Amino acid sequence: MKKLLLICFIFSVGLISAQTFQRVEVDGKIIVEGNDVEGITVYNTSSNKGVVTNENGEFKIEVALNDFIEFRALQYQNFDLQVTQAIIDSKRMRVFLIEEINKLDEILVLTKGLSGDLSTDVETVKTFNPKLDALYFGIKRSDEYDFSDDYRSAIQNEAMHSQSQTMVNGLNIVNVVDQLLLPLFRSEVKDKEAYGIPEVPVTSIKYYFGSEFIQDSFDIPEHRVEEFIRFVEDDKDFDYSLLKYGKELEFLEVLYQKSKEFLNPKSDKN
């Protein structure tokens, strides 16, 4: 009887362990300006297995809950993330690596697009600064990424897992709009003086990243991004004050609503 109980116990532990560490394949992509995205190492330190990105910066890797994933390349700042349940559920990852002269690399990580509920999007945004430098992570959905307690530079969100280093005031979603969208939309305004829109330095326009963000967040086809920007700004009811600092969340909400109109013009007319 004791032997039977021992066998049952061992079997149960093995079953629980197998369920805990069952890994799923995640589709990922690293996005940078230029073509230098091939051969970046993506390594799962928990499973001791890694992959490298292809010529398009794409990769597939198997992950489990709480796995640590390392991204390593000679030409870019190294960074790490820890997998939580949400990234397993979404099975998708986008990494925007932004390089600027005289400035440390910035990294923006997304999974799925905006939900359409701006209060939800803001509450579920995370930002991290694991190297105490200009690394920047913006997450659209709750609990998609965690960092261990070794990374104590960000603000603690008590509502999330105890190891999460997060922000709850929406600051990083604001930064996403400020860095990627506002310069792009401001540059397309024809009469900037009339609307009080400042001139946009060419160096501050990250068209590639802004375009990718619009595609990823609002499902706008790549070849229609500029058309979408004109569609938004040509609306006679468009409030140009949304292109000023301080109204980033309202601007995102307008973009979300306009994207639905843009992609479904017939349903909008009915």
DSSP codes of every residue in the chain: -HHHHHHHHHHHHHHHHHHHT--EEEEEEEE-SSSTTTT-EEEETTTTEEEE--TTSEEEEEE-TT-EEEEE-TTS--EEEEE-HHHHHH-EEEEEEEEETTEEEEEEEE-S---S-HHHHHHT-----TTSSS-----SSTTSEE--TT--SS-B-TTS-TT-B--SSSHHHHHHIIIIIHHHHHHT-S-HHHHTPPP--GGG--HHHHHHHHHHHH---GGGHHHHHHHHHT-TT--GGGGSTT-HHHHHHHHHHHHHHHH-HHHHH-
- In this prediction, residue 233 carries a pLDDT of 92
Instruction: Indicate if 73 and 121 belong to the same structural domain.
Output: yes
For residues 218 and 185, give the distance between their C-alpha atoms in angstroms, rounded to a whole number.
Answer: 15
Last residue of a domain, one of 168, 202, 234: 168
Tokens of 253: 């909400």
Instruction: Indicate if 79 and 160 belong to the same structural domain.
Output: yes
* Helix axis angle, 248-263 to 207-218, nearest 10°: 60
- Domain with 226, as residue range(s), is 173-269
Instruction: Indicate if 159 and 29 belong to the same structural domain.
Output: yes
Last residue of a domain, one of 168, 185, 209: 168
Total domains in the fold of the chain: 2
Instruction: Indicate if 116 and 190 belong to the same structural domain.
Output: no
Instruction: Indicate if 223 and 131 belong to the same structural domain.
Output: no
Of the candidates 250, 260, 255, 199, the one whose C-alpha atom is nearest the C-alpha of residue 232 is: 255
- In this prediction, residue 3 carries a pLDDT of 46
Instruction: Indicate if 128 and 179 belong to the same structural domain.
Output: no
| Position 139 in a domain | yes
Instruction: Indicate if 120 and 164 belong to the same structural domain.
Output: yes
Instruction: Indicate if 158 and 182 belong to the same structural domain.
Output: no
For residues 81 and 93, give the distance between their C-alpha atoms in angstroms, rounded to a whole number.
Answer: 11
User: How does pLDDT run along the chain (270 residues), one tens digit per residue?
Assistant: 544 444 444 444 444 444 456 899 988 888 777 677 889 899 999 999 999 999 988 999 999 988 998 888 777 767 777 776 767 777 877 776 665 433 334 455 555 555 555 444 444 444 333 222 222 333 333 233 333 333 223 323 322 222 232 222 223 566 678 778 888 899 888 888 888 888 887 777 778 878 888 887 788 999 999 999 999 999 999 999 999 888 887 888 899 899 999 998 775 555
Q: Which residues contact 185 (CB under 8 A, 6 or more apart)?
A: 229, 232, 233, 243
Of the candidates 30, 31, 85, 68, the one whose C-alpha atom is nearest the C-alpha of residue 52 is: 30
- In this prediction, residue 145 carries a pLDDT of 32
For residues 129 and 107, give the distance between their C-alpha atoms in angstroms, rounded to a whole number.
Answer: 10
Last residue of a domain, one of 129, 147, 168: 168
Handedness of CA 82, 144, 110, 106 (dihedral sign): negative
- In this prediction, residue 43 carries a pLDDT of 94
Amino acid at 78: N
Tokens of 172: 């990083």
Instruction: Indicate if 30 and 112 belong to the same structural domain.
Output: yes
Instruction: Indicate if 110 and 204 belong to the same structural domain.
Output: no
- Compute the residue count for the chain: 270
- In this prediction, residue 261 carries a pLDDT of 94
Q: What is the pTM (predicted TM-score) of this model?
A: 0.55
Contact of 30 with 209, CB cutoff 8 Å: no
